[in-house]
Structure 1
Amino acid sequence: MAQSTPRVWLITGSSSGFGRAMVEEVLRNGEIAVATLRKPSVLDDLADQYPRTHLLVVPLDVTNEAQVKSAFVKAKDVFGRVDVVYNNAGQVLLQEAEGTSMDRARALMDINYWGAVTVSLEAVRFFREENPKGAGGLLMQVSSLCAMKGVPKIAFYSSTKAALDLFTEVLAQEVLPAWNIKVHDPNSDR
């Protein structure tokens, strides 16, 4: 993963799970992490270990479009570019479909689908318009096998990921080759 010029990674959902693991992997490999999460203090241990030249921790709720845009601005202000967006923020809701309130199901869709879409669209715009001309970038979407086969008690979670996979598939087709932007569709082998 390490290159002569370290890549700048913007990682959503950095507080735990895949997001936290990716931040740690990026840092271990000498690259630069812009770790975004709702409660930045969760990463105080990493912030104490790594200098600001390698780790920038930014508050981000992906359901807030202004915060999404602000996270990209902060990354550019500090590092001049973003090379990779690891779009990971999300939640799981473990409950039977019939017992789930519509308000909770909608909130899950706001985070897992609309939040990821907001980050994706800003990433593509940023890669095309803010990064150095021709640099492009890589958008990596984190999904779930549950997007391809429903599993009891996670109907709404599965639905958010299935919708995100289809959005990502279409977005990957719409990005012009001249932009040098790669969109990783996690289930492109289906």
Structure 2
Amino acid sequence: MTSIDLTGRTALVTGGAQGLGEAMAIALAGAGATVMIADIQDSGEQTAKALGPEHGFVKLDVTDEAAWDAAVTQTVAQLGGLDILVNNAGVEITSLITEVQVADIQKMLDVNVLGTTLGLKHGLRAMRPGGVAGRGGAIVNVASVAATIAFPGIAVYSATKSAVDRLTRVAAMESGKLGYGVRVNCVYPGLVPTAMGIGLANDVAGIGLFESAEAAVGAVVELTPAGRLGQVEDMADAVVFLASDAARFITGAGLPVDGGMGM
């Protein structure tokens, strides 16, 4: 079996300042890749410094096309290329369908769907033959188990993550048909006790769906054959795998990393 060694490769991770994105950046760097953390939060600079001096940070609002162009340009110039893109940045706003606000719908669409689409656009353009990097590579999009189950309180978030799945598959088909040499896959993370995950548990309790945040977490564990919540390392290792040569014949796939919750 091919060992997971990303030495000599460069990666751009959106939403890499904290949570899942930070864990993915750490895991990619641990496998030998040089990583550019991209985030709207300035704290991403400290996250990058903690990885080591060869890594970097770029400010990126994933809904801003000009910012994407600048982030890819900086990554290639500073790190020497772009081989791996992880479209991780996302936002979840809990609401019953009867109470959902237009502004919240728009925000989730903008970050989760528009942001991922722009990432695919600029990642493929950079990695394909003739692009500023031009040596192919791998793109991993972060969807969610919410794309595969009906969990209350997250209807719009679930819809946007289902869209990420469809974007992944069409992008993989286009990349293959047009000879880009870029594999495109996605992962479906289960619930992880990051700030976003804890916030979700509190929110679904707050709108009356569960008696408490602990009860919400218990319901998730009950639905999970593995019998526990996910950990950031579980998700990060899956991303490293899909970015590596160990997954060289995998494209257009969605990998559940949810302990069986979505089966």
TM-score normalised according to structure 2 size: 0.66
Partner residue in 1 for 2:77? 77
Partner residue in 1 for 2:260? none
- How many angstroms does 1:60 deviate by? 0.5
Rounded Cα–Cα distance in structure 1 between residues aligned with 2:81 and 2:140: 16
Rounded Cα–Cα distance in structure 2 between residues aligned with 1:66 and 1:10: 16
Which deviations, in whole Å up to 9, do the C-alpha atoms of 1:1-20 show, x marking residues without a partner? 334x4210100011222100
Partner residue in 2 for 1:97? 97
Which deviations, in whole Å up to 9, do the C-alpha atoms of 1:66-102 show, x marking residues without a partner? 1111100001111221000011000111221221111
Q: Are 1:10 and 1:35, in contact at CA under 8 Å, matched by a contact in 2?
A: yes
Partner residue in 2 for 1:28? 30
Q: Are 2:37 and 2:44, in contact at CA under 8 Å, matched by a contact in 1?
A: no
Partner residue in 2 for 1:15? 17
Q: Are 1:139 and 1:183, in contact at CA under 8 Å, matched by a contact in 2?
A: yes
Three-state SS of the structure 2 residue aligned to 1:113 is: helix
Residues 48 and 84 of structure 1: CA distance in aligned 2, closer, same or farther (over 3 Å): closer
Q: Is 1:2 aligned with 2:25?
A: no
Q: How does 1:1-190 map to 2 (within 5 A)?
A: 1-3=4-6, 5-44=7-46, 46-48=48-50, 50-51=52-53, 53=54, 55-128=55-128, 129-132=131-134, 135-176=135-176, 178-186=179-187, 188=253
* Equivalent residue letter for 1:182: R
Residues 45 and 86 of structure 1: CA distance in aligned 2, closer, same or farther (over 3 Å): closer
- How many angstroms does 1:42 deviate by? 4.2
Rounded Cα–Cα distance in structure 2 between residues aligned with 1:46 and 1:174: 33
Q: Are 1:172 and 1:185, in contact at CA under 8 Å, matched by a contact in 2?
A: no
Which deviations, in whole Å up to 9, do the C-alpha atoms of 1:128-170 show, x marking residues without a partner? 11224xx211010111111122211000100100112112111
Residues 33 and 45 of structure 1: CA distance in aligned 2, closer, same or farther (over 3 Å): closer
Structure 2: any 5+ residue segments left out of the alignment? 189-252, 255-262
Residues 125 and 145 of structure 1: CA distance in aligned 2, closer, same or farther (over 3 Å): same
* Equivalent residue letter for 1:24: I
* Equivalent residue letter for 2:182: I
Rounded Cα–Cα distance in structure 1 between residues aligned with 2:98 and 2:23: 34
Structure 1 vs Structure 2 CA RMSD: 1.9
Three-state SS of the structure 2 residue aligned to 1:2 is: coil
What fraction of aligned residue pairs are identical, expressed as a percent? 27
- How many angstroms does 1:46 deviate by? 4.3
The runs of at least 4 consecutive aligned structure 1 residues that moved more than 4 Å come to none
Which deviations, in whole Å up to 9, do the C-alpha atoms of 1:101-120 show, x marking residues without a partner? 11111111100111111111
Which deviations, in whole Å up to 9, do the C-alpha atoms of 1:25-75 show, x marking residues without a partner? 122333201000012234415415511x2x111100101111111100001
Rounded Cα–Cα distance in structure 2 between residues aligned with 1:64 and 1:49: 26
Q: Are 1:88 and 1:142, in contact at CA under 8 Å, matched by a contact in 2?
A: yes
Q: Which has the larger radius of gyration?
A: 2
